[in-house]
Amino acid sequence: MELRLMKIAAPAGLCGALLPALPALAADAPAPAAAGANTAWILIASALVLFMTLPGLALFYGGLVRARNVLSVLMNCFAICCIASLIWVTFGYSLAFDAGNPWIGTLSKAFFANLTTPTATGLPENVFALFQMTFAIITPALIIGAFPERAPFAFVVVFSAIWLVLVYIPAAHWLWGGGWLAAMGALDFAGGIVVHTTAGVSALVAAIMIGKRRGFPHELIPPHSPAMTMAGAGILWVGWFGFNGGSALAADASAANAIIATHVAASAGALTWTAIEWLKLGKPTSVGLVTGCVAGLATITPAAGYVGPGGAIVIGTLGGIVCFYAVMLVKHRLLIDDSLDVFAVHGVGGMLGSLLLSVFALPQLGGNGLAEGMTVLSQLGVQALAVGVTGLWSGVFTWGIVKLINVGIERRVSAEVEYEGLDLTTHGERAYEIG
């Protein structure tokens, strides 16, 4: 079998292009000198990305909800990790990354069978599959931030499993597994489209269908622990080095470039958001600072391997501005209770960054260039198509999945359960002793 690695920083002018098919190493073939370093780095990056979900995202989201729902958020993240891992190993990876056809892969690598070791990087395919598993874990976990405190545990688990199969896996194949969008020259270094666009659009649709929390928007629903949220955001920031830096699939200068771009974009996004909040609301808040940081991180993700530090700072700054006003639009104008701003931060940020890379992914800016044969305008057109199609696919299938599940599982808890909190009513436990 052959492995096609889509997520790799290619030479100038060839970023995002598919690597040539690489035969398996013969038993007596010497490994490339860098094989050990590359393998070690991707194993570390895999741990970092998993660390983003557990405990990073769990704590980030957990601090933003009320005290009576903290455990439910942590439970959701842990359960999604477990079910996504099993799906990925049994058939998800094969459908996403085995050659197949332009729309979906085959099942020849189900249960991680028939994996190979490419000679170009010396990276064993099971290491690559492990790294990709961590992306499959965090993506559906992002979505639950749109409807915490009101969706039943059973609904969350079943929704996440079906969504992973029908939305995430096809999108991953289209862009990273040799699918039709990759063939057109669409670029997505680390998940602006595959991760953030799919999760963001799906979160918006699910939030609308599940409905608002009791009291929204007339009652103030403050986070119960901004300190917990800041701790989670710090873990996310560090873990994002593995998310974006690991997507170079090598321990080299391209990984370092992606990490530098990630770091400065996060810094720019955090400070930009805080400045706007300070000017508009009169106070800089901890939640605003870390939300801006995540906005910068989401916006740079699709472009991290294609731009230099200057472009990354601009992208992070624009991410902070656009995502801030997206939150205002969704929550205060449209009155949609996307509780933890998944669409406005992750969705809008990922889509914005996917378009902006067309402008900033130029060799003279320190990046690796556009896809082969592309101009800025043609690349922008392909990126817009990829964002639009993936967003539409995500929204339509999310609507269908919620409708399907609701036949057998209520998508929302009763008013009494919501009032008492999901921790005690669903799990029989409390995060904190009260009274």
Which of 18-27, 308-317, 359-368 is predicted most confidently? 308-317
Other CB atoms within 10 A of residue 404 CB: 13
Residue 27 domain-assigned? no
Q: Provide the angle, in degrees to the nearest 10, between the axes of the packed helices 376-405 and 169-176.
A: 160
Residue 52 domain-assigned? yes
Residue 107's SS3 state is coil
Residue 20 domain-assigned? no
The pLDDT, as a whole number, for residue 372 is 80
CA distance 145 to 57: 9
Tokens describing residue 418 = 């919501």
Q: Which residues contact 382 (CB under 8 A, 6 or more apart)?
A: 181, 184, 185, 186, 371, 374
Q: What is the pLDDT of residues 178-225, one digit of tens each?
A: 999 999 999 999 999 999 999 999 999 999 999 999 999 999 899 999
Q: What is the pLDDT of residues 47-67, one digit of tens each?
A: 999 999 999 999 999 999 999
Residue 271 domain-assigned? yes
Average pLDDT, the chain: 90
Residue 407 domain-assigned? yes
Q: Which is more confident, 122 or 229?
A: 229
Burial class for 413, CB neighbours closer than 10 Å (0-12, 13-18, 19+) = buried
The pLDDT, as a whole number, for residue 88 is 98
- pTM (2 d.p.): 0.91
Q: What is the pLDDT of residues 336-371, one digit of tens each?
A: 999 999 999 999 999 999 999 999 986 744 445 688
Q: What is the pLDDT of residues 324-336, one digit of tens each?
A: 999 999 999 999 9
Residue 11 domain-assigned? no
pLDDT band at 118 (very low <50, low <70, confident <90, very high): confident
Q: Which residues contact 73 (CB under 8 A, 6 or more apart)?
A: 58, 61, 62, 65, 144, 148
Calculate mean pLDDT across residues 398-419.
96
Residue 137 domain-assigned? yes
As for how many domains the chain has, the answer is 1
The pLDDT, as a whole number, for residue 121 is 72
CA distance 294 to 355: 18
The pLDDT, as a whole number, for residue 32 is 56
Query: Residue 350: which CATH number?
Result: 1.10.3430.10
| CA-CA-CA-CA dihedral for 326, 329, 330, 332, to nearest 10 | 130
**Domain span holding position 203:** 36-426
Residue 93 domain-assigned? yes
The pLDDT, as a whole number, for residue 120 is 67
Q: Which of 54-58, 98-102, 310-314, 372-376 is predicted least confidently? A: 372-376
The pLDDT, as a whole number, for residue 373 is 82
Share of the chain above pLDDT 90, in %: 84
Q: DSSP string covering 18-81, please?
A: PPPPBPPPPTTPPPPTTHHHHHHHHHHHHHHHHHIIIIIIHHHHHHHS-GGGHHHHHHHHHHHH
Calculate mean pLDDT across residues 101-106.
96
Tokens describing residue 395 = 């929204």
Calculate mean pLDDT across residues 98-120.
89
